[in-house]
């Protein structure tokens, strides 16, 4: 399994590859330093209690939610509803890509 070599950005969807939440998706809400980010999904991991994650344990997807990104850059916060909505939109897009065999079908991003 390939570890992520790209630096995550605020609002980017990531696939969790290590730990209790393996196989789930979340959104980067803060860059701590070159090794760590804070992620949240708006459901299990709310905005006010994000998970600190090593970026080597994440796989960055080629999807950045413009709504989450602009909200974070403008106000420094985002609603849990917007995080859930952005992940739902991402999953809809992934399911469309899965039909075209651009997605590996195992909850990982290509």
What structural domains and CATH numbers belong to the chain? 12-99 (2.30.30.30)
CA angle 48/107/36 to nearest 5° reads: 40
Tell me what pLDDT residue 97 has.
73
Tell me what pLDDT residue 2 has.
42
Tell me what pLDDT residue 3 has.
44
Q: pTM for the complete prediction? A: 0.84
pLDDT < 70: residue spans in the chain: 1-6, 95, 98-110
Tell me what pLDDT residue 4 has.
42
48 DSSP β-pair partners: none
The pLDDT tens digits for 18-49 are 999 999 999 999 999 999 999 999 999 999 99
Tell me what pLDDT residue 94 has.
74
Residues 57, 60: Cα–Cα separation, whole Å:
10
Q: In this structure, what token pair is assigned to residue 20?
A: 């209790």
């Amino acid at each position: 399994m390939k570890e992520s070599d790209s630096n995550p950005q605020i609002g980017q969807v990531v696939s969790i590859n290590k730990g209790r939440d393996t196989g789930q998706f979340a959104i980067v809400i803060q860059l701590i330093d070159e090794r760590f980010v804070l992620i949240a999904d708006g459901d299990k991991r709310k905005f006010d209690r994000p998970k600190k994650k090593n970026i080597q344990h994440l796989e960055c997807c080629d999807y950045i939610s413009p709504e989450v990104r602009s909200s974070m850059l403008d106000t420094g916060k985002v609603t849990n509803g917007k995080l859930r909505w952005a992940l739902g939109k991402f999953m809809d897009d992934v399911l469309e890509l899965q039909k075209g065999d651009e997605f590996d079908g195992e909850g990982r991003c290509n």
